[in-house]
Structure 1
């Protein structure tokens, strides 16, 4: 086999082919293709063809397993492999070499996998047949793709083979096909594979299912867990354990719902009380709902001061049925020396501006968590005073600073003009972020200057936001004139114009070549005022 040289078409040497077949080279090509454009995908095809040319079965399957481990890459490769470049280092379409390498089931695994993505439906159909003769876990993503093929004979053969494999040994083939199946679930003709996997899971034992549940991506675990719930493979103690300890929020929620439903049906309030003590709000709210259905309103009303909004809402509903005035409860709670943050939040949810007088003294509370919650509550009650909150913007707590900046954004025009710029130059990163937020919406010139300053910041998040804003402004000005919205216009004095040019020059390396050129053109075309 002859490989196109990277210099424009010269044949590669045997040493180059040998380098291409190294496992590290395959892994590097896969990593580059996962984030690269068509050139990287085409290079990956070249590397795989070079591995296939060696003829080693183990090496070919190992290389294919590296590709199959990334379902998103397999989908992109499937779409790209049929496109032959007309120029550059890959002038000979890879499809021609794939067709030459693949003959029948005696061909190498890589040749079969690549042939299954060929543009000719007859070759794809023969490749599917070959895969089914010599199946392997690393071949399954390519078989799943063909189960949704647009050509009926290819699709039917792939579906028949997929159904047969899943029915014969679900424990082996479900882990191999599930990542790609879930990736294609929303595609046209993609539902067949999902239904086949689900049917195969219904046929397997709970022991096999538990083994599959112990590994895989979060999306796969959620699919498996929901299927296990539908099959009632988990007893109540296991459901409670998953609800209290699982690392995935979706699995916790599904387990909590199933556990609470069974606890209500079987009259097990002890289970509901245990779940109601969970540190996870999504578990507590489901457990409290179950207690409400069991008639335990008094226990549920005790959660009026909970940190979670949904939990407080359920507790208030229970309190209403008991005749308890939740607003008076919150008013009393915020008047204590150590008010619960949940009570402050609850008062902001059902209180009015009159209640702001009860909250303002807490702005000087010793607890940063209380101060942050009070700032948020006053904002929700529409009781923000610009001068009062401006004095709080330098609070020692980053959480309080964030809440104050959020509360002051609608009132930025009432702040001292220099305050946001002073904050943007501060040594504390939370103050610089607050200053940048307060400068938002003050005009194109302010946005551009603030974005350029932020783009040079040492904080990665602030720098990324500044670069994004400057890029957006520069592209909006450089866009086509037929757009309906007007281009951004700079109205600056001569000194401000010079300052912007200096900032643009300093930020050129971090903005990128395209944005820097657009920005220079914009500033060059801008005529400064007096």
Structure 2
């Protein structure tokens, strides 16, 4: 039993003893309702209870309630034998909210079915009605669906959406999702808005998908969401919807620049790539050229496509920019962009950039040479002592396939504690790539190292080398 279900079982016991629902269940947390649903039926074998009975049913109150719930007649007649539950009757009319919560989660389907009849009017229990909409038993499932259909309004749909989406992952859970979608499509804008800012990314995805499909948001609002939301799915969904609106001409002339500006100025590469792609339809070559050196490969690729479509030559532009290795204003992405669309002969323009004063330019030049498969081991190994970790990392990746060509003693020197950490990590990766005795000697040297990650990796390597008993 996991911790959530244990918590649900504890809550079930408190409800059976008469505690108020809001005192033991966080009614705003969908996980709390699901935990209660499972906790009521929990049967931990290690607890002192008769086999097959959840702990709450072994209490005097719980046993009396269960017997009452299973009765063939009305709840009220069955409950009159218990003083505690008899006192809870409301004008001779039914169970308390806490008792109904237990009944709605009960392991006996007949009990769940009867509880649904009395749950009408208890809006606080609608989350459990949502859960019962996916019940395996049809006599429970169908009344629950009818009850939810009659009780659901826009405000309640917004409140229940996080739980509905969780239940929607289950078999037979699609009904509640479809019902909530239908209600939300008719909801006023101000009621729907909280879902777009929900902390649960699954809720935001659902809300934005619904909003985009129903045209509830303007292209500018979609572009703003694509630029600001942290979730990649929301970014892509909203960016594509904004682009579709642009393509269909559903944007006022004065708003086109706002939409494109929001997209190309986004931190998300997905949003920027969508914005750059939109520049093609607007015929704005100059603005697309500015993204040929973007930090994202996806955006650079989109920019090259747009420039080509509008009659430009990205490769010539890259070659011209990389031709001067002393250009302090050279964007780092120019070197990688040249490698992405250039030929192996273009490596001649990248080698001089290994001495560029900007570390990011040097790192991108190394990455570009690796992309062009132009690795000169003698020249590249010198970069393992570069003061910039990013350059050392890229040089390591370039040298890994040629690790056996590097002198072992030279690499072992760089394992010394006086070296920067990124240099030591690089040397160990290359020694490890050599395999055989070199790998084992490097690992043994690091067995007592103060760097925990290096030491752990070395211990693992040495452990694997020992013969199995």
Structure-1-length-normalised TM-score: 0.70
Corresponding residue of 2:246: 263
Aligned counterpart for 2:306 among listed residues 318, 328, 336: 318
How far apart are 1:359 and its partner, in Å? 0.8
User: Are 2:114 and 1:126 aligned?
Assistant: yes
8 Å Cα contact 2:380-2:399 kept in structure 1: yes
Corresponding residue of 2:179: 196
Aligned counterpart for 1:221 among listed residues 204, 216, 220: 204
Aligned counterpart for 1:434 among listed residues 391, 413, 426: 426
Equivalent residue of 1:118, what SS?
coil
How far apart are 1:158 and its partner, in Å? 1.9
User: Where in structure 1 are there 5+ consecutive unaligned residues?
Assistant: 1-37, 475-487, 492-521, 526-530
Corresponding residue of 2:25: 64
How far apart are 1:108 and its partner, in Å? 5.2
User: Are 2:10 and 1:47 aligned?
Assistant: yes
Aligned counterpart for 1:375 among listed residues 350, 366, 380: 366
Structure 1 pair 123–450 and aligned structure 2 pair: CA distance change class (3 A): farther
Structure 1 pair 232–420 and aligned structure 2 pair: CA distance change class (3 A): same
- State the distance in 2 between where 1:393 and 1:178 align: 53
Structure 1 pair 418–135 and aligned structure 2 pair: CA distance change class (3 A): farther
User: Where in structure 2 are there 5+ consecutive unaligned residues?
Assistant: 70-74, 76-92
Structure 1 pair 293–125 and aligned structure 2 pair: CA distance change class (3 A): same
Corresponding residue of 1:185: 168
Corresponding residue of 2:43: 84
Equivalent residue of 1:391, what SS?
helix
Structure 1 pair 141–323 and aligned structure 2 pair: CA distance change class (3 A): same
- State the distance in 1 between where 2:367 and 2:450 align: 28
- State the distance in 2 between where 1:448 and 1:47 align: 56
8 Å Cα contact 2:6-2:39 kept in structure 1: no
Aligned counterpart for 1:171 among listed residues 138, 152, 155: 155
For residues 152-163 of structure 1, the aligned pairs below 5 Å read 152-163=138-149
How far apart are 1:205 and its partner, in Å? 0.8
- State the distance in 1 between where 2:128 and 2:158 align: 14
Equivalent residue of 2:25, what SS?
helix
8 Å Cα contact 1:198-1:227 kept in structure 2: yes
- State the distance in 2 between where 1:162 and 1:466 align: 56
Q: Residue deviations 1:220-251, cap 9 Å, x none?
A: 12211221222322234433443444444443
Corresponding residue of 1:327: 315
Corresponding residue of 2:54: 95
Structure 1 pair 267–47 and aligned structure 2 pair: CA distance change class (3 A): closer
Corresponding residue of 2:136: 150
Number of aligned residue pairs: give it.
430
How far apart are 1:202 and its partner, in Å? 1.1
- State the distance in 1 between where 2:332 and 2:296 align: 10
Corresponding residue of 2:357: 366
Structure 1 pair 94–63 and aligned structure 2 pair: CA distance change class (3 A): farther
- State the distance in 2 between where 1:421 and 1:41 align: 51
Structure 1 pair 325–49 and aligned structure 2 pair: CA distance change class (3 A): closer
Q: Residue deviations 1:445-490, cap 9 Å, x none?
A: 847984995897656xx379749x949x97xxxxxxxxxxxxx664
- Using the TM superposition, name which of 346-355 and 299-308 deviates more: 299-308
Q: Residue deviations 1:390-449, cap 9 Å, x none?
A: 221232222222222222222222223255555555464433443453354555884798
Corresponding residue of 2:272: 284
Structure 1 pair 361–39 and aligned structure 2 pair: CA distance change class (3 A): closer
Structure 1 pair 215–355 and aligned structure 2 pair: CA distance change class (3 A): same
- State the distance in 2 between where 1:440 and 1:180 align: 49
Structure-2-length-normalised TM-score: 0.78
- State the distance in 1 between where 2:135 and 2:465 align: 51
How far apart are 1:82 and its partner, in Å? 4.0
Structure 1 pair 416–42 and aligned structure 2 pair: CA distance change class (3 A): same
- State the distance in 2 between where 1:405 and 1:111 align: 65
Q: Residue deviations 1:202-231, cap 9 Å, x none?
A: 121111112343334122122112212223
Corresponding residue of 2:295: 307
8 Å Cα contact 1:143-1:162 kept in structure 2: yes
- State the distance in 1 between where 2:272 and 2:362 align: 26
- Using the TM superposition, name which of 379-388 and 87-96 deviates more: 87-96
